[in-house]
Structure 1
Amino acid sequence: GDGCRRDLLFFFSRLRERSAPTMASNRVCHFKLVLLGDTAVGKSCIVVRFVRDEFYEFQEPTIGAAFLTQTVQVEDATVKFEIWDTAGQGRYRSLAPKYYRGAAAAIVGYDIT
């Protein structure tokens, strides 16, 4: 629960450090984040946990891409993450560049088993 959320916040806060010179106090900053990887590696589970603090044993496969947002306070800035959770099935791979174009960061999920 909190450990996963804390780890994700730490990761996402690194984006703020990278862009700090352009941010003023109490500003809302937008970061596009994309999740990439094969099917059934947990991309949607990571996003749902971060955005809704929920976990499902079974997650329906993403078709195309899913869009979610999460707003967090990081030091003196409000950061709004615009998260694109892309489908892992091969038939949707040609769409991936459309979703990751302009992203500030990407999380690549993969199976280690």
Structure 2
Amino acid sequence: MAWTSLFIAGLFEIIWAMGLKYSQGFSKPLPSVITIAAMSVSFYLLSYSMKTLSMGTAYAVWTGIGATGIFICGVIFLNEPLSFIRGLSVLLIAAGITGLKIAG
């Protein structure tokens, strides 16, 4: 259950990171509320997963899911550039997440 909670926490990290972009510095009410709600859920689920998983593993996986997910969202939804080096770098982050899951 801890790994599932951690994965969902990572998904909510993606939501709040996208929300930060759309809230424009918390100047737009609806995106701001969504961002804060997603942050709350993400942090709660991260803390819940840390009851079982080691702090270093949980935090690294959480940030890795968020970083990888927000990179993909940026490329798809915000037309951010995708180069070979950027794509390879994200694959290395994903490989690290997988390695931590296998080792943990």
Using the size of structure 2 for normalisation, the TM-score is 0.36
Q: Return the structure number with greater helix share.
A: 2
Q: Which has the higher contact order (CA 8 A, sep 6+)?
A: 1
